[in-house]
C-alpha cells in the first residue's frame, strides 16, 4: 500500500460573527514553510487576512 502525503498551508483567523479560513495545497512541507515565512514577513495574506493570523501553520496529512 502506498502512503500519500498532502501538505496544506492553513490560515485561520477570528472575525466578527465567526472565523475566516484559507486552506491552500502546497507541494511540500519546505515550500509551505517558506510561503508561511513570506506571509509573516509581509504582514498578511491578501485582503482576507491583512495580518498574519494566530492560527497560521503548515499541516502534513498522510493517507
Give tens-digit pLDDT for 9-30: 998 777 777 777 889 999 999 9
Taking CA atoms, 59 is separated from 27, 41, 50, 63, in Å, by: 12, 20, 22, 13
Half-sphere exposure of 49 (CA within 13 A, CB side): 22
Cα(31)–Cα(29) distance, rounded to whole angstroms?
Answer: 5
pLDDT above 90 (res 61) = yes
What predicted TM-score, i.e. pTM, was given to this entire model? 0.76
Cα(3)–Cα(20) distance, rounded to whole angstroms?
Answer: 31
Please report the pLDDT score of residue 39 as a whole number: 80
Residue 31 phi, psi (nearest 5): -65, -45
pLDDT above 80 (res 57) = yes
Amino acid at each position: 500500500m502506498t502512503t500519500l502525503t498532502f501538505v496544506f498551508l492553513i490560515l485561520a483567523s477570528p472575525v466578527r460573527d465567526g472565523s475566516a479560513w484559507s486552506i491552500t495545497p502546497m507541494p511540500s512541507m519546505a515550500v509551505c514553510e517558506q510561503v508561511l515565512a513570506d506571509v509573516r514577513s509581509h504582514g498578511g495574506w491578501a485582503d482576507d487576512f491583512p495580518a498574519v493570523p494566530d492560527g497560521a501553520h503548515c499541516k502534513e496529512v498522510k493517507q
